[in-house]
Amino acid sequence: MISAIKKEIFLRKEELENKTLSSLYFGGGTPSILSVDEIKSLIDEVLKYFDFEKNIEITLEANPDDLDKNFLKDLAKTEINRLSIGTQSFFEEDLKLMNRAHNASEAESSIKRAQDFGFENLSIDLIYGSPTSNFEIWKENLQKIIELQVPHVSSYALTIEPKTALNAWIKKNKIAEPKETEQNKEFYYMSDFLKDNGFIHYEISNFAKIDFESKHNSAYWKYKEYLGIGPSAHSYNGRNERSWNVANNTLYIKNLAENILPKETEKLSEKDQYNEMLMIGLRTIWGVDLEKLHEKFSGEILEIFKNSIQSKLKEGILVIEENHLKILEKHWFLADGIASDLFIL
């Protein structure tokens, strides 16, 4: 797999217009199962074809149970300077429900160990709205963020996917289905609590202390180009083309051994680009840049846009500030639905 990934980097080295990278992200699964030497070899491979900005953000997604002392000691000697830790919760019942490999003790101790080895730029994932949780437990989860001095949080409502154990348990009445009213309450409490403690709520699911916003995710939300390497990875050319790699590991490796790129590509229509710009922009504190919108789209689409936003502007759901269209934060929990109301189908 590592050889195949290196081959793909080589074959696609000309795809990015900007050869100086501001972020490099090891994610899409559990890259912390790699050895530090393997991680280092992949960084070295990237450096053969690209330069790094002085303050590049290099993130490694990691499970708490992978972050032992030996791993962190060696990792601190590499260019990795940010960890995104899949904590999910600091409570045992939540972790069991989500079938996580780590326990509540490891959820906390992994963060402390990372900090002991000099990793200050940490992000953790937290899930709210779990049927094994309640409002008081959620408040304690959030308090842990402050106690542990974690500067970035990504938090998502628990969703029930079809064909999962969780879905089966709900159908058999073994556990209760998550309640949207509870998730709504926990979302807005989290937003107020974290902002009161110095965080910026800069995207619906993301909170950061000043200067700790994710450069990598912000690039997605600002429509910048990115190159995704590895099985299932997605790429975007910053204009009108997306591509994605096959998910099958065996096929991915086989294709690259034959110098074939294991990817599919789609051209985004003007309507697709418009819908994406609204969906992504309206999830952020920055909103949709109206100047860019007018530069990018035709008169017909702009006329539809102008008409579609009027009622929501009058209702106070949408606002225009400094030539950016935004959803008022009190409506953020429903942002995806609000954006979809504006789509051109």
Sign for the pseudo-dihedral over CA of 133, 139, 141, 142: positive
- What tokens were used for 139? 């408040």
> Within this chain, do residues 306 and 340 fall inside the same structural domain, yes or no?
yes
Mean pLDDT of 185-214: 96
The single-letter DSSP state of residue 238 is S
What is the distance of C-alpha 289 from the center of its chain?
21
Question: Which residues are CB-neighbours of 340 under 8 A, at least 6 positions away?
Answer: 279
> Within this chain, do residues 83 and 118 fall inside the same structural domain, yes or no?
yes
Name the residue type at position 142.
Answer: L
pLDDT in tens, 33-65: 899 999 999 999 999 999 999 999 999 999 999
CATH number at residue 163: 3.30.750.200
Of 190, 220, 250, which residue sits at a domain end?
220
User: Which one of 155-159, 161-165, 197-201 scores highest in mean pLDDT?
Assistant: 197-201
Mean pLDDT of 148-165: 85
Of 237, 268, 299, which residue sits at a domain end?
268
The single-letter DSSP state of residue 248 is -
pLDDT in tens, 222-257: 889 999 999 999 999 988 999 999 999 999 999 999
> Within this chain, do residues 237 and 149 fall inside the same structural domain, yes or no?
no
Would you state the pLDDT for residue 174?
66
Of 220, 253, 283, which residue sits at a domain end?
220
Give the domain extent around 239. Answer: 1-17+227-268
Is the pTM higher than 0.75? The answer reads: yes
Residue 96 banded pLDDT, cuts 50, 70, 90: confident
d(CA 88, CA 65): 13
> Within this chain, do residues 169 and 275 fall inside the same structural domain, yes or no?
no
Would you state the pLDDT for residue 165?
62
Q: Please name every residue paired with 59 in a beta bridge, in sequence order, or none if there are none.
A: 25, 82
CATH number at residue 341: 1.10.10.920
> Within this chain, do residues 147 and 201 fall inside the same structural domain, yes or no?
yes
Residues 144/108, Cβ–Cβ less than 8 Å: yes
> Within this chain, do residues 41 and 60 fall inside the same structural domain, yes or no?
yes
- What tokens were used for 13? 């080295």
> Within this chain, do residues 166 and 299 fall inside the same structural domain, yes or no?
no
Residue that wins the pLDDT comparison between 172 and 94:
94
> Within this chain, do residues 22 and 76 fall inside the same structural domain, yes or no?
yes
Cβ atoms within 10 A of the Cβ of 251, count?
14
The overall average pLDDT reported for the chain is 92
Residue 166 banded pLDDT, cuts 50, 70, 90: low
> Within this chain, do residues 289 and 192 fall inside the same structural domain, yes or no?
no
Cβ atoms within 10 A of the Cβ of 89, count?
27
> Within this chain, do residues 188 and 291 fall inside the same structural domain, yes or no?
no
With a cut of 70, say whether residue 259 has pLDDT above it.
Answer: yes
User: What is the share, in percent, of the chain residues with pLDDT greater than 70?
Assistant: 95
Grouping H, G, I as helix, E, B as strand and the rest as coil, residue 209 is coil
Mean pLDDT of 280-290: 94
> Within this chain, do residues 11 and 23 fall inside the same structural domain, yes or no?
no
Mean pLDDT of 196-206: 96
Would you state the pLDDT for residue 94?
82
Range list of H helices, 204-298 = 215-221, 249-257, 270-281, 290-296
pLDDT in tens, 296-318: 998 999 999 999 999 999 999 99
Residue 167 banded pLDDT, cuts 50, 70, 90: low
With a cut of 90, say whether residue 87 has pLDDT above it.
Answer: yes
Number of domain units in the chain: 3
Residue 100 banded pLDDT, cuts 50, 70, 90: confident
> Within this chain, do residues 108 and 200 fall inside the same structural domain, yes or no?
yes
